[in-house]
Chain A
């Protein structure tokens, strides 16, 4: 699983040309991963302002508007890939354009239901 973290609002600072180039780059990577059969799925998350946060307050769950984790980066979406090695996954992550704009990609294995006999 490739978790996409980026700086909130970074696309607002981009010129139209830069933004088009970024979307094109994303399309290109997605197309390539579809062709290699490595793409399983992915979702982009809406702007953090759309967030609801559920938390327990005085023993009861409360639903609040907005994200409450103060961080420089927001969780922006994910990409699920099926590849031969973690190195290959990291290679894909390294090409994701958000990384160039101050974001980060977190590469984490997905838990499997299959087990080894011990």
Chain B
């Protein structure tokens, strides 16, 4: 089905460009988005049979514009009958250029502006994710719903409300100023990373629907990197995604169980993705001040460079975590740092780092804290305490593979005195 694949690639490439252009011209994000979705649907049904038009983008633009103007026309006709002549002239009359006219603004800029709009701070995170996947990624509502394991009606409501909130927030289709842009870029990166993490599932079942999301997150981050080649954090995030996704085949065992990093068969890591990720982060760090994504990518790169878990350059990882904890302090960073410190200075040193987290409301009672503590207690030879901590972590997680992993670890320690 290479034909379909090409059509889909074309549609995904042009969807944000066409939408960006329409919104720039007409405003009304909500309606433009619906019109583009209809044009995409028309293309998806017609192109495979009738062939791809010579200028696919102009085709999509024409069809989407026609939908928009049809809707406006019928609306204005209705209004004409209902309201006074003086109030009849619609605000948009006469401003629409020919539908297939080439854009005056680069399509790339539109894609970037669109990405910033979908990650609008007025939206909750789940809505930012859904809207980005649909408007920038060109995924259908059904695909997004499938990937999030919710009914299509639920997702379609979420998207509709997100669009309405954007309209209500009065968001204009312009690039925010430098200060706001910096802040919004942080949200864009977070949303892309969220999409990636949602897709990075441990499930190895026949239904790989969520891997669509990792692929999509990587694709969108690549586009973003093309648009902002001088941003070190964009490069860092892309590298981090590539280096993480490279583990995919190795992190799940034959029975669907989670395989921890230390026990993964490194021969099954994706060498091409690792090479690309390492090159990307190494290069970025030469010219960019290190940010949180770059540091996490650098840590992933150190892991990737070791041919076995034992050969990992732990002192370097500890140094990177120390830097990360300084510029972006976060209890999850402390958890990972504790594991690395344990590898260098022994499990007791790692355990000492965990103590303050018991008093932190973000981590107190969190299953990840219990899981890391269990691991370090096991390394320290405190079998009973380790077993209790593994079981506590297993009770706290809502991830099935993780629960299985933790219960198996606990069971291994039973009767081991």
Contacts and interface: CB of A to CB of B under 8 A. Distances in A.
A118 B247 CA distance: 12
Contacts of A109: 398
A35 B157 contact: yes
A38 interface: yes
B296 to A, nearest CB: 13
Contacts, number: 74
Interface residues of B, number: 34
A91 interface: no
Nearest to A82: B150
A44 interface: no
Given A36-B161, A111-B403, A117 B261 contact: yes
Given A37-B158, A117-B260, A110 B399 contact: no
Given A112-B400, A115-B201, A115-B401, A37 B155 contact: yes
B158 A113 contact: no
Interface residues of A, number: 20
B398 A113 contact: no
Given A82-B154, A84-B126, A115 B402 contact: yes
Contact of B368 (A37, A110, A116): A116
A16 B371 CA distance: 54
Interface string B181-194: 00000000000000
Nearest to A109: B398
Contacts of A40: 150-151, 154
A113 B124 contact: no
Interface of B: 124, 126, 150-151, 153-158, 161, 198, 200-203, 205, 210, 244, 247, 251, 258, 260-261, 368, 371, 375, 398-403, 405
27 contacts: A35-B157, A35-B161, A36-B157, A37-B155, A37-B161, A38-B154, A39-B154, A40-B150, A40-B151, A40-B154, A110-B398, A111-B400, A112-B398, A112-B399, A113-B205, A113-B399, A113-B400, A114-B200, A114-B202, A114-B210, A116-B368, A117-B202, A117-B244, A117-B247, A118-B260, A118-B261, A118-B402
